[in-house]
Structure 1
Amino acid sequence: MTPNPSPVRTPTPSGRKRNPQLDGLLLDAALDILADIGPTALTMDLVASRAGAGKATIYRRWSSKAELITEALAHFRSTQVDLGALPDTGTLRDDLLSLFRPQSPDEAERRMRIMTGLASLLTHEQAFAADVHTAVVQPWAQAHLALMQRAQVRGEISATADLLTLSQVVPAMAAYRSLIQRQPFDLAFLEPLVDGVLLPALRP
């Protein structure tokens, strides 16, 4: 995975003013359908039906299925981590672990289905590989980089550590676990990775 993937392309269709709330409903519907039946069977009509909207509502926003999926991935990315409200516990280890947010069983199940749908997308639509990487890995890598830079300023980790590379270790492993192994990303997976791999690589 490259350290600086291209940003997710967000279409800017013309027409009447967009309704962010309706946009969110439509994009959530697209993600749910992607999770349920995969990208090949996903259609604009199915998304409209799932969201309880008219077909014209869909086509005013996205001229093609590719545009819709691209923006759905951008929407998924926006739900991953809040870069403006990162934890600040005083230690890098606790900051990294605090990024993990426990989910309800329903939330965890939906996320796993979405990740399975994204894995299917990679299998059938290689053109979306960079967008999937940007949606799944990049937000967490950016968060880890910010936390590591803060720890470096505190003198907690090596001043010469390759933060750009190491900030991608946990996000990339989490993506592999979810997309390839189809296993949940949980604290039992995260703690050994932070303690046994990441922190030893960061310390002098």
Structure 2
Amino acid sequence: MTAQFSRQEDQGRNAAMVKTDSSWRRPPGASGPARDPELDARILRAAIELLAEGGFPALSMDKAAARAGVGKATVYRRWRSRVELAGDALDRAALAAGHTAVRIGPGQLRQELIETLMQVERCTNAPHNDLVAALLATARHQPEIFALVRERYVDAMHRLVGEVVAHAVERGDLPPPPPSEESDGKCALEVSAAVALLIHWQTVRGGEVLTEDHIVSVVDRILLPLVSRPNQDRV
């Protein structure tokens, strides 16, 4: 798995290095040694591997140090707790980095949804899927980590699909949502249904690879019928 994560990190280095605003990062000016980017990367890669193998319960400062081949003090000088270490590891893993809401043009909503969701499918063919599945299965017992996974992954997926649907409404490809739904985001319930199904696939059916055919089925049988329903049919 170490080799797999190394290849994935090399392929997505630009995305992974995008600056984030993680609340777990050490604040500027905090005491401690000058940070060595290469050493940080080794420790964070070790933390990602541990999280992928067993979720948050599998991560400890001592285990991260041992896997990274550094002393425990090296880890403790950089992160005050395993929650902070997990937060930076998830930033490094860039769960939804590089994902974008696809825009093609009028009359192309179906293809836009398929291509947007296919970004998720591509992730399920990599160790990324092990990380997401392990975290979603165990993070519920650790509120801080659950909130972080939701922000970095679940909400990001919801936002991407929501942007595609909202743009279709703006250009007239979809009817506008009723006023009762606008406060929570356009077609939020319909988008949540599709996102929830994809997350379910990764956590419950993790051994079965999510394919393009599955994505097309989700779009054609679930997402499009829901978002295309006339306003008067909504209840």
TM-score class, shorter:
0.7 to 0.9
The aligned counterpart of 2:134 is: 117
Q: Kindly tell me: are residues 200 and 51 of structure 1, through their superposed partners in 2, closer, same or farther at Cα, counting changes over 3 Å? A: same
Deviates more, 1:114-123 or 1:155-164: 114-123
Q: Which residue of 2 aligns with 1:10?
A: 24
- Other-structure match for 2:80: 63
- Inter-CA distance 149–66: structure 2 relative to 1 (3 Å threshold): same
CA distance in 2, matches of 1:19, 1:138: 32
C-alpha separation between the residues in 2 aligned to 1:79 and 1:16? 29
Structure 1 segments unaligned to the other structure (5+ residues): 1-6
2:10 aligns with none
Q: Where do 1:1-204 residues align within 5 Å?
A: 9-13=23-27, 14=30, 15-16=32-33, 18=35, 22-76=39-93, 78-82=94-98, 85-90=100-105, 91-99=108-116, 100-101=118-119, 103=122, 108-122=125-139, 124-125=141-142, 128-160=145-177, 162-182=186-206, 183-203=208-228, 204=230
Aligned structure 1 segments of 4 or more residues deviating by more than 6 angstroms = none
TM-score, structure 2 as length reference: 0.68
Task: Note closer, same or farther for the CA distance 1:18–1:141 as it changes in structure 2 (3 Å cut).
Answer: farther
State the Cα distance separating 1:54 from its structure 2 match.
4.0
Which range is displaced more, 27-36 or 16-25? 16-25
Structure-2 change in CA distance of 1:174 and 1:54 (3 Å): same
How much has 1:124 moved relative to structure 2? 4.7
2-structure distance, mates of 1:19, 1:172: 39
- The answer to whether the 8 A contact 2:110-2:219 is kept is yes
Percent sequence identity is: 27
Q: Secondary structure, in 3 states, of the residue corresponding to 1:167?
A: helix
2:45 and 2:151 mapped to 1: Cα distance? 18
8 Å CA contact 1:115, 1:178 repeated in 2: yes
Query: Which structure has the larger Rg over C-alpha atoms?
Result: 2
- Give the 3 Å change call, closer, same or farther, for CA 66–122 of structure 1 in structure 2: same
| Structure 2 unaligned residues grouped into runs of 5+ | 1-20, 179-185, 231-235
